[in-house]
Amino acid sequence: MIIDLISDTVTKPTPGMLQAMMHAQVGDDVFSMDPTVNALQKKVAAMFGMEDALFFPSGTMANQAAIKIHTQPGDLLFCDKYAHVYNYESGGAAFHSGVTCRLIDGSRGMFSAAQLEEASSGSPQIYLPYARLVCIENTTNKGGGACWDFSELEKIEKITREKNLAFHLDGARLFNALVAKNETPQQYGQLFDTISICFSKGLGAPVGSMLLGSKEHIHKALRIRKLYGGGMRQVGFLASACDYALDHHVERLAEDHQKAKEIGAVLKTVSYVTKVETIETNIVIFYVDTAIGDDNFIKRMKDQKILLTPMGEGKIRIVTHLDYTNEMHAILLDALRNFQ
């Protein structure tokens, strides 16, 4: 048995999900003729109280389409130094949109309204790029699954309105934040111009993301998705997996969060761990003694069929998910306690 904690993307469809996929009604989605995709787009838009939504093959493509919608080449976007859109999307903001990222030095992937105010201060000058967009991520990936304080997001939204900046949420793991903080999709729908969500992370679908926004934004996104090669045909088979995930796999995220906290509690008791970051959702980030070394620790866990991932700067990441069972959890906790 392999205990794969590399990411919450490693899950396989459950029997119930496969059943739903087998019975999906499908059509050609490039012509907007797939009834399952159309229904899912409508359902998610309504869930967030936003006008429209568009199904995407990946979160990366949904985020990059959002950046494209809000900017022109030469423009500037603000994001945290840990942001996925900056670090882990292959330089897409520069490649697809010709946009510069101004990185804000936040904490665990989150910055304050005051930091944004400061970063965006000053009057426009001919030698400065046009600031157009603020991107935030909830939960934060590189920040260890941290959740934003909603009142800080409201302050940030106010700044974006005052300064005429668009506001995009990379919500690849937004449902983890909603469950952890007892928040609603509508709260987020009211705050942001565009939101991307992923069904392929904690929700356990094999493929699928969605971009939400106004009718005008989503109309633009439809063309950009085609331009990026993301127009798909009978993709209702995948959309039905995502629909199933929304109906069955949201509330259970609390179990992943609980297991992550239990892993963190064990890591705090063992002498070879030097630091465990605050655990709010399904991501655990910790550091081991430099005498052991992160790469060596990961290799020795791999020898025990436990897969973890390095996150740079000595960080080691564990992500709990739908396919991480109670049995695996017991084995992992023992392995962590007995490591020497």
Ligand X SMILES: *Cc1c(COP(=O)(O)O)cnc(C)c1O
* 60 counts as binding ligand X under rule CB under 6 A: yes
* 217 counts as binding ligand X under rule CB under 6 A: no
Nearer to ligand X, 60 or 97 (CB): 60
Q: How far is the CB of 80 from ligand X (least distance, A)?
A: 11
The piece of 54-62, 150-158, 249-257, 290-298 that touches ligand X (CB under 6 A) is 54-62
Binding mask 65-94 for ligand X (x = CB under 6 A): -------------------x----------
The piece of 55-63, 244-252, 261-269, 272-280 that touches ligand X (CB under 6 A) is 55-63
Distance CA 218, CA 199 (A): 19
Distance CA 2, CA 327 (A): 12
Instruction: Name the pairing type of β-strands 100-104 and 76-80.
Output: parallel
Binding mask 116-155 for ligand X (x = CB under 6 A): ---------------------x---x--------------
Instruction: Name which of residues 182 to 211 contact ligand X (CB under 6 A).
Output: 198, 200-201, 209
Instruction: Classify residue 316 as left (phi > 0), alpha (psi -120 to 50) or beta.
Output: beta
Return the residue of 29, 170, 256, 294 that touches ligand X, per CB under 6 A. Answer: 170
Q: How far is the CB of 105 from ligand X (least distance, A)?
A: 18
Strand partners, 287: 275
- Please choose, from the candidates 168, 73, 192, 51, the residue with its C-alpha nearest in 3D space to the C-alpha of residue 129: 73
Nearer to ligand X, 242 or 273 (CB): 242
Nearer to ligand X, 36 or 200 (CB): 200
DSSP structural state of residue 28 = -
* 11 counts as binding ligand X under rule CB under 6 A: no
Contact 73, 99 (CB under 8 A): yes
Nearer to ligand X, 71 or 196 (CB): 196
Nearer to ligand X, 21 or 197 (CB): 197
- Quote the distance between the C-alpha of residue 240 and its chain's center: 20
Q: How far is the CB of 166 from ligand X (least distance, A)?
A: 17
Beta strands in the chain (DSSP E): 3-4, 52-56, 76-80, 100-104, 131-137, 166-171, 194-198, 209-213, 273-276, 283-288, 306-307, 309-310, 316-319
Q: How far is the CB of 295 from ligand X (least distance, A)?
A: 22
For 295, the token pair is 């790469």
Contact 115, 106 (CB under 8 A): yes
Nearer to ligand X, 153 or 273 (CB): 153
Nearer to ligand X, 70 or 273 (CB): 70
Return the residue of 29, 48, 59, 249 that touches ligand X, per CB under 6 A. Answer: 59
DSSP structural state of residue 107 = B
Distance CA 161, CA 164 (A): 5
Distance CA 250, CA 326 (A): 18
The piece of 43-51, 52-60, 143-151, 309-317 that touches ligand X (CB under 6 A) is 52-60
Residue ranges binding ligand X (CB under 6 A): 58-60, 63, 84, 137, 141, 170, 172, 198, 200-201, 209
